[in-house]
Amino acid sequence: MQKDARGNDVTTDNPAAVSAINRMIEQWLGYGQSASVIFEGVAADPRCVMAQVLGAVLNLFLESAAGRRAARPFLARARQQVEKATRREQLWLLAVEAWAKGDTDLAIRLHLDIAAHWPGDLASVKLCQHHQFNQGDAAGMLALSEATLPASRDDPHAHGMRAFALVENHRLREAEAAGRHAVDLRRREPWAHHAVAHVLAAEGRIDEGIDWLESHADSWDDCNSFMLTHNWWHLALMHLDRDDAGAALALYDTRIWGVWKDCAQDQVNAAALLWRLETRGVNVGHRWHDLARHVAAREIDHIEPFLDLHYLMALLRGAGPAQAERFLASLTAQAPLAKRHRQRDWTGVALPLAAGLAARARGDHGTAAAAFAAALPGLARIGGSNAQRDLFIECWIDSALRAGATAGLAPVLAERARRRPTVARHFRDLAHLARIEGAIPRAIDAEHRAEALARSYAV
């Protein structure tokens, strides 16, 4: 029996296996490029349950059917040794087996059991939050962070994880403090950089957000492709908030698309940025085509609704109609077959959103607006962050304004402008709505606000 870096028992007598486990977990929590070191641990002691389970985890993070297949041998080898393992390791195996079968509800319950007895197992907390995030359980993410933080109070990863959970619960002041504290503990803490960026964007502190991300970007070079491209993606969105589509496109070309084109999360970042640019009337040129080629090469597997919706964007804009229609038909057929705890997420949220995206792509904004509106009440359940899901709210707003289907728009647009009074686009939307309603003085006032903001961006 050995102990890992956080004091948890590991069933092995091989120090090399434990060293690999420690390094893999640190790479995972810190979004490094070398999490594959766990395979050295598997080789050092094939009977080590924890090494085998973490090997499966790394494959499952590919978020693909191929990743699930690759995880199975690791789980099978762990299962052969499970009777010799500690209770914590047995729970880990059960949780990752559940994940591999798509039963993330069970996986969450098992990780919560680990947290109750071994609160210092930060990797288990991280994986539990990953599943909670994908199910839109922001409250659960935060409750878990709050319960386990005392066991990892000096660990910057734990504070970064808490910061992001606070963001998703709209507790922005606390989130910023937690994120900045994590960075004070360790400057290279990209998840905390990311959490603070969420706060600054959500509050309309765009110039401050650009400075924050740019001042820490030098520490991202050794990040994995998701974290690297995602933090640059947030910077691109901030430039869009300043009406600087050129800067956003430059980041797309140099920082966001091209690191690992087969990675699901890299494809999500790329599709989300291009779709936003086009919603703002920007011509993105040929960029959809390369993205769509890589998305089209994926095995259709329907792992998460949030992923599928971004794959669909790429296919709608960059592939032939037949490919997009085939993917949409597969999604429609598969949604009712989802695990019971996710069925309403697929059928009640993902399918209407997919219909809305398809309608927008063919210029049918009335149908699109109705489809998006139907999905919005359950939007959080498809996963993704508040900022990521805001794309679908933007789509609803744009399609509703184009179609003149303005019911329910006024309070939403007013709140967006109130929360982010430095973003000209929100006042343009208010002006558009006011002109539809014939409220010309109100439209002129909103247009003047937008013009003044646009002039300030050029200073």
Instruction: Give a yes or no: residue 292 inside a domain.
Output: no
Q: What is the pLDDT along the chain (459 residues), one digit of tens a residue?
A: 999 999 999 999 999 999 999 999 999 999 999 999 999 999 999 999 999 999 999 999 999 999 999 999 999 999 999 999 999 999 999 999 999 999 999 999 999 999 999 999 999 999 999 999 999 999 999 999 999 999 999 999 999 999 999 999 999 999 999 999 999 999 999 999 999 999 999 999 999 999 999 999 999 999 999 999 999 999 999 999 999 999 999 999 999 999 999 999 999 999 999 999 999 999 999 999 999 999 999 998 899 999 999 999 999 999 988 999 999 999 999 999 999 899 999 999 999 999 999 999 999 999 999 999 999 999 999 999 999 999 999 999 999 999 999 999 999 999 999 999 999 999 999 999 999 999 999 999 999 999 999 999 988
Euclidean distance between CA atoms 450 and 427, whole angstroms: 5
pLDDT at 314: 98
Q: Is the pTM of this model over 0.75?
A: yes
Would you say 158 and 152 are in contact if contact means Cβ atoms under 8 Å apart?
yes
Q: Find the helix packing angle between 49-60 and 65-80, rounded to 10°.
A: 170
Q: For residue 378, what are its two tokens?
A: 């359950």
Q: What is the pLDDT of residue 459?
A: 81
Residue 101 inside a domain? The answer is no
Is 426 in contact with 416 (CB distance < 8 Å)? yes
SS3 category, 9: strand
What single string gives the DSSP state of each residue in 442-457? HHHHHHHHHHHHHHHH
Residue 182 covered by a domain: no
- Within 8 A by CB and 6+ apart from 62, the residues are 70, 264
Residue 71 counted as domain residue = no
End-to-end C-alpha distance for the chain, whole angstroms: 63
C-alpha count within 13 angstroms, C-beta hemisphere, residue 303: 21
Angle formed at CA 196 by CA 190 and CA 198, multiple of 5 degrees: 105
Whether residue 437 lies inside any domain: the answer is yes
440 within a domain of the structure (yes/no): yes
Q: What integer pLDDT is reported at residue 401 of this predicted model? A: 99
State how many domains the chain has.
1
Residue 259 lies in a domain: no
- Structural domain boundaries, residue 425: 416-457
State how far the Cα of 269 lies from the Cα of 266, in Å rounded to an integer: 5
